[in-house]
Structure 1
């Protein structure tokens, strides 16, 4: 995406979170799952390919990103669609398992809305940062967001690069998304003691 496309891209990523991922996540959280979700968009026209959400109640490996990839490769109409033609959008900065899955499936990018620190501090889910510290000795922000495989970009960095008046409108939408996730997080936290997710 060129710099000129940044307002369009930022708007589309926020729209996808709000209109395609959040409805699935509401259902997932009601079933006891975490709040993490993800989607795939075509690079050429930003159209939605697929959206999914966390499904750890079925399998602790079905984080939002991995569950999305599972559904992608199971989908008969998406067989053969090159991942190099797609944008990977995730609501929360991926854990190391999900980063690896994104890498092994050939994506050259991912965009995330909430950071690892947000997951720890605002969502009371510290596992991503704890795993990175315990397994790899990495402090928050310690991995390479630009590397030989992909580039990771915070959606809010795109928003902040947009000119006015687009930036203000995007910031308002982002604030609305944050409020929705705050409500979903509270719902998850109230119910997590009753689920069987190993790292709840």
Structure 2
């Protein structure tokens, strides 16, 4: 099923971030985890399948996206519904491990709010970009966003195509979301030396 990249989609993804992912991430950060999270949304009606957040304090592989997939496959819904029928929402542009996990799980898409550069510059978590450069020789965002596995798009890329009257309320919500993540990032950075995450 084709995903229509329009104001309705952008609005729904922002709402899922604000109302479903962020409350989980607030709890996760309070437990020493990073600010990354994700959600699965049905393509057909944009209803939520599942939301999750980073859980690296339990296992350093449980990035927001991979932890979401772990939890999804532990539930009966994974046997009843195909990943091809879902939108994969990531709060932050996925790292190389998470991109691969999305592909291995059979998703043909992912959408993200914060870019790789945001992870480095606004969140002081540069590991994604360092791995892209050191292992794959790629610059930030230098991977193929359209490939044989999936199409990766930023929510702001969608908003940029909209007329002003549709874009403005989305940008206002996006700024509100940015503010909440900025506060969570400060909390994580202030306490990260207390956790045992290898790349904190």
Q: TM-score, normalised by structure 1?
A: 0.97
Moved over 3 A (4+): none
What is the alpha-carbon distance in structure 2 between the residues aligned to residue 93 and residue 130 of structure 1? 14
Offset, 1:155:
0.4
Residue ranges of structure 1 left out of the alignment (5+ in a row) = none
1:119 matched residue in structure 2: 119
What is the alpha-carbon distance in structure 2 between the residues aligned to residue 62 and residue 159 of structure 1? 30
1:22 is aligned to 2:26: no
**Offset from partner CA, 1:126-180 (integer Å, 9 cap, x none):** 0000001110111112110100110000001111212231210000000000001
What is the alpha-carbon distance in structure 1 between the residues aligned to residue 23 and residue 46 of structure 2? 19
What is the alpha-carbon distance in structure 2 between the residues aligned to residue 198 and residue 31 of structure 1? 16
1:45 matched residue in structure 2: 45
Where in structure 2 are the equivalents of 1:7-156 lying within 5 Å?
A: 7-156=7-156
**Aligned-pair Cα RMSD in Å:** 0.8
Match of 1:2 among 1, 4, 13: 4
Query: Which deviates the most, 25-34 or 134-143?
Result: 134-143
What is the alpha-carbon distance in structure 2 between the residues aligned to residue 198 and residue 40 of structure 1? 27
What is the alpha-carbon distance in structure 1 between the residues aligned to residue 25 and residue 92 of structure 2? 13
Match of 2:153, SS? Answer: strand
Match of 2:87, SS? Answer: strand
1:191 is aligned to 2:188: no
- Aligned residue pairs: how many? 198
What is the alpha-carbon distance in structure 2 between the residues aligned to residue 195 and residue 115 of structure 1? 25
Q: TM-score, normalised by structure 2?
A: 0.97
Offset, 1:78:
3.3
Match of 1:10, SS? Answer: helix
